[in-house]
Amino acid sequence: MTSTLTLRALRRLRTTPGGQLDCRIDFSDGPGSSRPVAYVERELAPGGISAYLAARKSGARSFVLWTDEHRQTRVATLVTLTGGRRSQFQVLGPQGETLGRITRDKAFSRGIRTRWTVSRPGAPDAVGYKGRLFWWCVWWFFSPLLPFVLISPLFSGGIGGDFPRGPRRIKWRAGGQVPLEFRSSGDTVHLNAPDLDWRLGAALAALIPSFDGWIGNPWDSRKD
């Protein structure tokens, strides 16, 4: 059975102590079973928010998944191993144990599209590419019209809805199977393999949207 992990924005949620959390991860394994399983927060190094924002420009990310909004127990932690065109991240459990590694190769470094690799102990690497080539061709064909699309709401009574973005869907393949899938509608990771640790999927559900392009609104880029 497929289970899903969905990233939800929590722009107005504040807790005491600790200030604002960033997002929540909801888990579902069937109709009517959705429930929150983790709360996402950037983990700031010395230097605070300004240092984090400077580091994220080179591909670095660091965040914690908490069991609840009171930050009592860690579900998992994501840390950056390397940045740059080939960014690598390690997902750790609450005791510091390794749950898996996620590698992001930027577009045109190991292929035309951005490549995501999920590595787990004792399992073959799962490799996925951002968007289908067909939809990327459609996107680039119409991209000269994008400036008009972006400014048209200013002349029609305001801005509503989302701006158009490039293809974001990712299917991971390993050994002829599709153990993971990211769907841009709702920022949802689908776990199709029963042996996949949901905590690794939750970290992936938070990590991918943090790399939304300049048209998007990455959850970890806020300046407060």
State the chain's mean pLDDT as an integer. Answer: 85
* Residue 101: φ, ψ to 5°: -130, 140
Domains of the chain: which residue ranges? 3-155+164-221
* Banded model confidence at residue 182, pLDDT cuts 50, 70, 90: very high
Q: What is the DSSP letter of 110?
A: S
Using pLDDT thresholds of 50, 70 and 90, give the confidence band for residue 160. Answer: very low
- Per-residue model confidence (pLDDT) at position 25: 97
Question: Average pLDDT of 182-206?
Answer: 93
Q: Are 205 and 116 in contact (CB under 8 A)?
A: no
pLDDT digits over 43-87, tens only? 998 889 999 999 999 999 999 999 999 999 999 999 999 999 999
Mean pLDDT (whole number) for 106-124: 91
- The helix (run of H) or strand (run of E) holding residue 29 is none
CA atoms of 48 and 76, how far apart (whole Å): 21
Give the phi and the psi of residue 129 in degrees, each rounded to 5. Answer: -120, 140
This prediction has a pTM of: 0.85
* In the predicted structure, residue 22 carries a pLDDT above the cut 90: no
Position 212 confidence tier, pLDDT thresholds 50, 70, 90:
confident
